[in-house]
Structure 1
């Protein structure tokens, strides 16, 4: 098994037991699950059964998310998934494959970065995804065509047209 260089996000495939690089698709590592050892101390068996149930619940949750991610062409954020498991609260677990390149694009362009910060503070965009906020920032900061914005953000032209209309309704 070769180590993947520069891997930022890993996909844990519990079905096959592989840890996969989300960028290159290479198998970086194997998942090893420690089997329950016989209880050595009185009462330890109950604790290990609880851990086993928690682990099974985690696997089921991960498989549900993995199915949804594959169907929608998304990535699972390992950090978000671990926060979900530890807190049980609703957190953002999915990320779009374009997110890393989109963030670089925003940070490299000063005008779009300022517009993105402005859009991010606007309450109308509080529930919008990063890609929608980036598209709104591009609409505000540049005269790019809908096709160019769609190419950079991965949003549909219809979605971008709705964002453009939202920005025109109330002058920003």
Structure 2
């Protein structure tokens, strides 16, 4: 387990998570069946808007670790929102697998050659995103600390 955390340090994990999120935001506008990008569909903007929570969480982790700060209630609330976002990620895994599995149903139709490669890439990225998210939770607990707010009011001196 120690080797695992030497390979996936918090910096590498943040960079990989940022790259995966950015690629998935771009691929979210891509239509697998038509080989086109759809920027005018309002449904395509749901994932990018929700992923801002994840981008913000990655920034907060980077900031707290580099500045040596302790966790705060805003960070805790952001992490709880990311727990809910994990359900959206699981739904996107299911949705991508369903679309990729429908290839045999539409063999008679003209399907672009990019259907399988882009579909597999999307599925792999959606499957890896929850794993790197869970790793970032472990890094938060390891480097920033646990959420212990019982004595929060006693240590609220922000001028230190």
Common fold: TM-score over 0.5:
no
Give the TM-score normalised by structure 1: 0.30
Larger-gyration structure (1/2)? 1
> Which has a greater percent of strand?
1
> Which has a greater percent of helix?
2
Give the TM-score normalised by structure 2: 0.32
